[in-house]
């Protein structure tokens, strides 16, 4: 199943090798800024400019709205689904936790002094970033703020959390006693920072970009960080040492989004293209062309590379050959998010 979010509030379901519009969901009264799909793929959550989130059934004969999450005082910026809950971040400076079954708001996380930009969830904790130059860690069950990560000089955008108990993480590479769990944040101050979860203190500052860091990712082993920036480049870093390893050059405008898939990195840019890169060497192997506006969101699934754009269209490419498989049309304005 594929979906697109825009001011039209649409959703497109994609059967194998088909690209025709099946259904449009238009109950939102404003642009759709974010989407999240449940782990089993049966529920889609959308967050909108209309200050509301909605839940949609995706495995019924026709998709329909099965819940409205209402309570935020400003537009919703980010949304995630965790177990039987939906978590939303908003320009009203708060985060809310909702029960999927009842659609009740069960917790409000207050503390940020500016709009919330991003949220990630580890199960026990929620991490948030904000224009107020901080990231915060919250207890998932009590809404208590347990850490404030302060040090950036401008707003904080993407985040990556690297837990020490992941099987793939080589904890021997981290030589900071008591600092096994790592939070990494990217900022409009042109830097990324790694933080000790235990102490809330900065461990390393990743300097080198000359523009806002808009997106980030990490390799499966939790040893290499990738940062995309408005300076048109992607950089890779040794997380333990804070050293720049490679600079990926090829985009001609800001890098807006990225996805790390084992040894391949996928990016989308304001230069109207998507690209794939071999992370070991920093070489661009494919350029995905066709859009007439910024590639604002991307998704990788089953060998397919999906792009959503400011031109109101989504495109599906064969990730290896770069050939375009389908064009999905129907939105009247920019696509902000895609789900598969």
Pull the structure tokens for residue 89: 């971040």
pLDDT by residue (tens digit) across 171-201?
444 444 445 799 999 999 999 999 999 999 9
- CB-based contact 264:250 (threshold 8 Å): no
Whole-number pLDDT of residue 165: 59
Q: Give me the mean pLDDT over the 37-43 stretch.
A: 94
Average pLDDT, the chain: 91
Whether residue 40 is predicted with pLDDT greater than 90 in this model: the reply is yes
Whole-number pLDDT of residue 17: 45
Whether residue 113 is predicted with pLDDT greater than 70 in this model: the reply is yes
Q: Give me the mean pLDDT over the 82-89 stretch.
A: 96
Whole-number pLDDT of residue 180: 78
Sign of torsion, CA 44 45 46 52?
Answer: positive
Rounded percentage of the chain residues whose pLDDT exceeds 70: 90
Whole-number pLDDT of residue 251: 98
Whole-number pLDDT of residue 55: 98
Q: Give me the mean pLDDT over the 14-42 stretch.
A: 84
Whether residue 8 is predicted with pLDDT greater than 50 in this model: the reply is no
pLDDT by residue (tens digit) across 246-292?
999 999 999 999 999 989 999 999 999 999 999 999 999 999 999 99
For residue 176, give the DSSP letter.
S
Q: Give me the mean pLDDT over the 216-226 stretch.
A: 95
Whether residue 333 is predicted with pLDDT greater than 70 in this model: the reply is yes
pLDDT by residue (tens digit) across 120-129?
999 899 999 9
| Beta pairing class for 32-37 and 264-269 | unpaired
59 burial (CB, 10 Å; 0-12 / 13-18 / 19+) is exposed
Whether residue 11 is predicted with pLDDT greater than 80 in this model: the reply is no
Print the SS3 string covering 229-288: ECCCCEEEEECCCCEEEEEECCCCCCEEEEEEECCEEEEEECCCCEEEEECCCCEEEEEE
Whole-number pLDDT of residue 176: 43
């Amino acid at each position: 199943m594929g979906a697109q979010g825009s001011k039209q509030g649409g959703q497109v379901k994609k059967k194998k090798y088909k690209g025709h519009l099946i259904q449009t969901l238009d109950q939102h009264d404003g642009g759709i800024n974010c989407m999240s799909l449940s782990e089993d793929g049966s529920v889609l959550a959308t967050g909108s400019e209309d200050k509301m989130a909605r839940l949609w059934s995706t495995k019924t004969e026709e998709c329909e709205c099965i819940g409205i999450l209402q309570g935020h005082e400003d537009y919703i910026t980010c949304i995630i689904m965790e177990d039987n809950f939906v978590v939303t971040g908003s320009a009203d400076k708060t985060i809310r936790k909702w029960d999927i079954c009842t659609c009740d708001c069960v917790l409000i996380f207050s503390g940020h002094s500016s709009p919330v930009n991003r949220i990630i969830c580890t199960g026990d904790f929620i991490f948030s970033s904000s224009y107020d130059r901080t990231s915060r860690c919250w207890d998932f069950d009590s809404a208590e703020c347990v850490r404030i990560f302060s040090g950036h000089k401008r707003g904080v955008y993407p985040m990556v959390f690297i837990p020490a108990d992941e099987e793939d993480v080589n904890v021997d590479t981290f030589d900071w006693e008591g600092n096994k769990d790592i939070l990494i944040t990217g900022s409009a101050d042109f830097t990324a920072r790694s933080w000790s979860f235990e102490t809330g203190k900065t461990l390393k500052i990743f300097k080198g970009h000359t523009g806002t860091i808009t997106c980030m990712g990490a390799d499966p082993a939790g040893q290499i960080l990738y940062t995309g920036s408005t300076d048109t480049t992607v950089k890779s870093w040794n997380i333990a040492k804070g050293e720049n390893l490679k600079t990926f050059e090829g985009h001609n405008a800001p890098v807006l989004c990225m996805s790390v898939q084992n040894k391949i990195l996928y990016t989308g840019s304001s230069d109207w293209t998507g690209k794939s890169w071999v992370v070991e060497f920093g070489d661009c192997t494919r350029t995905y062309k066709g859009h007439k506006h910024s590639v604002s969101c991307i998704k990788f699934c089953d060998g397919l590379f999906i792009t959503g754009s400011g031109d109101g269209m989504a495109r599906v490419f064969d990730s290896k050959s770069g050939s375009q498989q389908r064009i999905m049309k129907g939105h009247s304005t920019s696509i902000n998010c895609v789900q598969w």
